[in-house]
């Protein structure tokens, strides 16, 4: 199914003006955006060849740029008030995970493929919370790619583009992430969630009208400091479980292939925590498939119950939650009209996502603002999604 690229909205800062302040004028400027994402169901399933159900949010990274006659690359981040400058053919060493690793990594991957052959100068601004579990890094890589595609006019299929941005994360940021975030940032569509099969990258767009049901994102304020190492640790545990199951069934290539029966028969013999991890993945995949059908039927109450189960599983079996996320989920679930709540993304901090009837929002906000700071030192941020963006070129006035 092709995702049509429509011009996005104007960025929340005057990017053309800022560009002119930095580079003299704003003639010949192109711009693109890529949004952050929230995952409604299916965490830690993507790198197990499983299913996920993310949607984009209304926060994005905006990338304005113009071609140069030489091979100099200049990229200026307004968020970090920093600029990186280098010759296109000599990508500098930058700290893995820094903003510069995503932008230079994306440029490098496109240069290697022969898609970018000239220098350019750029200004970047994003309003996706950093380290907040809503994929600011995927938005940054995808926005870089979309902006370069807009400027240089090369052809690159959206699914392939998501794959390039995933490689950027692996090679330049040092996190062996799955494909969900980059895929959602690149392929997610306004007024839809995405059901993605992470094995073959086939997907379905699931209509989701944000005036019918509210999606609320709450940032716990806990930064995902250890996410990288713990995340890679979970991947190793999953691989151990795959190796174990292959003794019984050589067709098992990933945890996606472990049936409920196979799991029941052998779970107790799995080493260490691999059995718990595996149980989460097997059950979570089924929840995603069931959840997508429920969304299609507008059965938000049953979908909400799956979100609750998913959170319990991420907390108890996959062990990637934390007390702050658990508290936000609990506060949500105890609020009238909130149908479901769970942590979203990698975990260890970041955000929760809540599905709520429109009338429930004031009470949800009030309860979070009152109860959460009494227990934790963080100030929670609550965003009610009123729309969700899609990646693509942005038009100037």
Site string for ligand GLA, 358-397 (x = CB under 6 A): ----------------------------------------
> What's the min distance (Å) between Cβ of 314 and ligand GLA?
9
Q: Which is nearer to ligand GLA, 47 or 63 (CB)?
A: 47
Q: If DSSP codes are grouped into helix, strand and coil, which group holds residue 37?
A: strand
Nearer to ligand GLA, 132 or 304 (CB): 132
Please enumerate, as own/partner, the contacts of 80-85 that have beta carbons within 8 Å and a separation of 24 or more: 83/22
Residue from the set 23, 47, 120, 172 that interacts with ligand GLA by CB under 6 A: 47
Secondary structure letter of residue 125 according to DSSP: E
Among 38, 57, 146, 180, binds ligand GLA (CB under 6 A): 180
* For ligand GLA, the closer CB: 29 or 346: 346
**Integer Cα distance of 340 and 354 in angstroms:** 6
CB of 345: closest distance to ligand GLA in angstroms?
4
Q: Give start and end residues of each alpha helix (H) in 153-273.
A: 158-168, 180-187, 227-246, 260-266
Instruction: Say whether residue 245 binds ligand GLA (CB under 6 A).
Output: no
Q: Which helix (H) or strand (E) holds 61?
A: strand 51-67
Q: Which is nearer to ligand GLA, 84 or 185 (CB)?
A: 185
Residue among 15, 16, 26, 46 that touches ligand GLA (CB under 6 A): 46
| 40 lines the binding site for ligand GLA (CB under 6 A) | no
CB of 12 to ligand GLA, least distance (A): 24
Looking at the annotation, which residues are catalytic?
Answer: 181
* Structural tokens at position 217: 């994102």
* Residue 318 binds to ligand GLA (criterion: CB under 6 A): no
How far is residue 77's CA from residue 340's CA, in Å, rounded to a whole number? 37
Is 396:19 a contact under the CB 8 Å cutoff?
no
Burial class of 141 by CB neighbour count within 10 A (0 to 12, 13 to 18, 19+):
buried
The stretch among 28-36, 44-52, 202-210, 321-329 that binds ligand GLA (CB under 6 A) is: 44-52
Task: Note whether 43 binds ligand GLA by CB under 6 A.
Answer: yes
7 by DSSP, 3-state: which? coil
Among 19, 29, 44, 228, binds ligand GLA (CB under 6 A): 44
**Cβ 47 to ligand GLA, closest distance in Å?**
5
If we measure between CA atoms, which residue out of 396, 382, 8, 384 comes closest to residue 185?
A: 8
Does the footprint of ligand GLA cover residue 244 (CB under 6 A)? no
Going from the C-alpha of 154 to that of each of 5, 43, 97, 188, the distances in angstroms are 15, 33, 27, 21
132 binds ligand GLA (CB under 6 A): no
Interface with ligand GLA (CB under 6 A), residue from 119, 188, 345, 380: 345
**From 143, 177, 218, 270, residue interacting with ligand GLA (rule: CB under 6 A):** 177
Query: From the centroid of its chain, how far is CA 268?
Result: 33
Q: Give yes or no for residue 38 binding ligand GLA (CB under 6 A).
A: no
Query: Which one, 14 or 230, has the nearer CB to ligand GLA?
Result: 230
Question: Taking Cα atoms as reference points, which of 128, 139, 199, 196 lies closest to residue 169?
Answer: 139
Number of residues that bind ligand GLA (CB under 6 A): 10
- Strands 72-77, 82-87: pairing kind: antiparallel
> HSE of 36 in the Cβ direction (CA atoms, 13 Å)?
24
CB of 196 or CB of 361, closer to ligand GLA: 196
* 124 neighbors 139 (Cβ within 8 angstroms): no
- Chain residues binding ligand GLA by CB under 6 A are 43-44, 46-47, 177-178, 180-181, 345-346
């Amino acid at each position: 199914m092709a995702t049509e690229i429509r011009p996005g909205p104007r960025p929340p800062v005057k990017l053309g003006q800022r560009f002119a302040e930095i580079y003299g004028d704003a003639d010949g400027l192109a711009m693109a955006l890529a949004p952050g994402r929230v995952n409604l169901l299916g965490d830690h399933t993507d790198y197990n060849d499983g299913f996920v159900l993310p949607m984009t949010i209304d926060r994005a990274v905006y990338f304005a740029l113009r071609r140069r006659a030489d091979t100099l690359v200049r990229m200026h981040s307004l968020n970090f008030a920093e600029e990186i400058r280098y010759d296109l053919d000599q990508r500098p060493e930058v700290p893995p995970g820094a903003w510069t690793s995503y932008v230079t990594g994306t440029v490098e991957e496109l240069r290697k493929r022969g898609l970018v052959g000239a220098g350019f100068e750029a200004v970047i601004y994003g309003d996706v919370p950093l380290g907040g579990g809503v994929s600011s890094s995927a938005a940054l890589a995808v926005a870089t790619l979309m902006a370069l595609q807009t400027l240089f006019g090369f052809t690159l299929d959206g699914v392939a583009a998501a794959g390039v941005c995933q490689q950027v994360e692996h090679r330049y940021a040092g996190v062996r992430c799955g494909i969900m975030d980059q895929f959602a940032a690149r392929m997610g569509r306004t007024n839809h969630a995405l059901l993605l099969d992470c094995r073959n990258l086939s997907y379905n767009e699931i209509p989701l009208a944000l005036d019918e049901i509210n999606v609320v994102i709450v940032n716990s304020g806990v930064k995902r400091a250890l996410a990288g190492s713990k995340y890679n640790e979970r991947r190793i545990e999953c691989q151990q479980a795959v190796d174990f199951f292959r003794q019984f069934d050589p067709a098992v290539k990933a945890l996606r292939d472990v049936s409920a029966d196979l799991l029941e028969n052998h779970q107790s013999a799995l080493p260490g925590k691999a059995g718990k991890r595996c149980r989460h993945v097997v059950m979570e995949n089924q929840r995603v498939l069931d959840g997508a059908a429920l969304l299609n039927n507008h059965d938000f109450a049953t979908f909400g119950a799956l979100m609750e189960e998913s959170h319990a599983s991420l907390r108890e079996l996959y062990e990637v939650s934390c007390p702050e996320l658990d508290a936000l989920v609990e506060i949500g679930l105890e609020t009238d009209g909130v149908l479901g709540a769970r942590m979203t993304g990698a975990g260890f901090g970041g955000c929760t996502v809540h599905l709520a009837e429109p009338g429930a929002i004031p009470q949800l906000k009030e309860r979070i603002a009152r109860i959460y700071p009494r227990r934790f030192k963080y100030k929670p941020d609550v965003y009610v999604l009123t729309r969700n963006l899609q990646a693509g070129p942005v038009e100037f006035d």
